[in-house]
Chains A and B, each alone.
Chain A
Amino acid sequence: MARKKVNLAYITNDSVRKATFKKRKRGLLKKMRELSTLCSIQTCAIIYSPYHPEPEVWPSPLGVRSVIARFKSMPEAEQSIKMVNQESFLGQRITKAKDQLKKQQRESRELEMTQVMYKSLVGDQGLQNLGVEDLNDLGWLIEKTIEEIDERIKSLRE
C-alpha cells in the first residue's frame, strides 16, 4: 500500500479530489462495518457530497433511521456529551499531541542529561558549558542515580 504523507487541506484538483473521495469513502464505510461487527454495536453514517444527489448512508436508509431514532430517544445531555464537530475534534487531537510531545521531550532530556553525567564523570565534559538550569537537572539526576545505587547495594547485602 502506498503510504504517502497527506497534506491535511482541501484538495483543489477536481479529479484528484473525486478519486480521493471515492477511495476514502469506501474505506470509511469498511471501518464502520468492522467496528459494528467486532464490537457488536449499532452505528450509522450519512455522507452528503457534490458527487451524489442523494446522501450515501450506512448501513441502509432504514438502518440509519433506526439508529437516529435510538439516538434521539436519549436525553439531550447524553446526546451532546460525546458529540464533536471538526473544530472540537481537532482541538482534542491537538491537545493530545501536545501532551505526547511534552512527555517525549522530557524523556529525551533525561537521556541527554544521563549522557552528560557519564561524560562529566570521566572528565570528558567540563561543567563550564552548562547553565544553571542544566546544572540543577544534572544534580537531580546524580542524586537519583545515587539513590538507585543505594537501593541496589542494600538488596545485594541481604
Chain B
Amino acid sequence: MERKSKGRQKIKMMKMESESNLQVTFSKRRSGLFKKASELCTLCGVEVAIIVFSPGKKVFSFGHPSVEPIIDRFLTRNPPQINSGTLQLIEAHRNASVRELNMQLTQVTNQLEAEKKRGEELKRMRQASQAQCWWEAPIEQLGLPQLEQLKLSLQGLKKNVAKQSDRLLFQASNPPPAQFYGAGSSINQSPNPLDTNNIPYYAKNMNNVGFTGNAMPRVYNLGYGRGFF
C-alpha cells in the first residue's frame, strides 16, 4: 500500500526552511489551533480570542463568543457588562445553536468514520478476490489474450444489463393487470426468463479460447455472500 504522506515526524522547533512546507504547516496548524480553541470553549464554557497573522500577511482570528468584544474587554480592563435580560437571552440562543452545531458535527464525523471503515473492508475483499480470479486483477497486469477475453465477456454482460434495464422499465410502465383482488398471489413475482440457473451467455464462449488455467469459469461458486445492496 502506497504511503500518501510521511506520517508523524519529529520536527525542529525553529522556523521552517522550506517555503512551501511552511505555508502548508501554517494552514494545517492554524486550522488545528482553532479546532482546539473551539473545543476548549465548548467543553469548559470559557471565552477565548485568538489572532494569527499568516506568512502572507493576512490575518485570521477566532473568538467565542466573538473576537471584538474580547479584545475590547482586554484593552479597557473593564469587567464584563452586567448581563441584562436581553443579553442573557441572546447568549442563551447562541449557546443553544452552538450545542446544535456540535451535535451535527459529531453526527457527520461518525458517519464519515463508518463510511471509511466500509471502504477499507471493501478494499480488503477486493484484494482477496484478486488473488483468486485473474480477471479481477488490475488491467496493467493482464496479457493481451486475457484482455481480449475479458473484453468479450464484459461486452456480453453489458448487453444483458441493457436488456434487464429495459425489462424493468417496461414493467414499470406496464404493470401486471388487477392483482389487487387476486387470491394471494404476490404482485411482484412474474416469471423471469433470465433466471440464475442458466449459464450466462458471455461465459459460454470461454471454453473455446483454450488457455489452460486462464479460462474464466462458467458458473463458479466463489463462495462470497450476496446482497451488497
With A38-B25, A39-B25, A114-B126: A122-B52 Cβ-Cβ less than 8 Å: no
Shortest Cβ distance from A139 into chain B, in angstroms? Answer: 5
With A24-B40, A128-B194, A146-B151: A123-B199 Cβ-Cβ less than 8 Å: yes
With A101-B112, A121-B154: A25-B40 Cβ-Cβ less than 8 Å: yes
A interface footprint on B32-54 (CB within 8 Å = 1, 0 otherwise): 11111111111111111111111
Asked if B202 and A121 sit within 8 Å, CB to CB, the answer is yes
Q: Contact check: which of B35, B36, B67, B161 meets A138 at CB < 8 Å?
A: B161
Asked if A85 and B64 sit within 8 Å, CB to CB, the answer is yes
CB-based nearest B residue for A116: B228
A interface footprint on B194-207 (CB within 8 Å = 1, 0 otherwise): 11100110110000
Asked if B46 and A21 sit within 8 Å, CB to CB, the answer is yes
With A71-B61, A118-B135, A156-B144: A94-B108 Cβ-Cβ less than 8 Å: yes
Asked if A129 and B229 sit within 8 Å, CB to CB, the answer is yes
**Does B4 lie at the interface of the complex (its beta carbon under 8 Å from any beta carbon of A)?**
no
Q: How far is the CA of A89 from the CA of B147 in the complex (A)?
A: 51
Asked if B194 and A126 sit within 8 Å, CB to CB, the answer is yes
Counting chain B residues whose Cβ lies within 8 A of the other chain, the interface size class is 35 or more
**Does A60 lie at the interface of the complex (its beta carbon under 8 Å from any beta carbon of B)?**
no
Q: Contact check: which of A20, A32, A126, A132 meets B169 at CB < 8 Å?
A: A132
With A8-B102, A129-B226, A152-B140: A31-B32 Cβ-Cβ less than 8 Å: yes
Asked if A124 and B224 sit within 8 Å, CB to CB, the answer is yes
**Which 9 residue pairs of A and B lie closest in terms of their CB atoms, listed nearest first?**
A90-B101, A126-B196, A111-B122, A21-B44, A49-B46, A48-B47, A8-B102, A40-B15, A135-B165
> Chain B: residues with CB nearer than 8 A to chain A?
11, 13-16, 22, 25-26, 29-30, 32-55, 58-67, 70-71, 73-75, 80, 94, 97-99, 101-106, 108-109, 111-112, 115-116, 118-119, 122-123, 125-126, 129, 133, 135-136, 139-140, 142, 144, 147-148, 150-151, 153-155, 157-158, 160-162, 164-165, 168-169, 172, 192, 194-196, 199-200, 202-203, 216-222, 224, 226-229
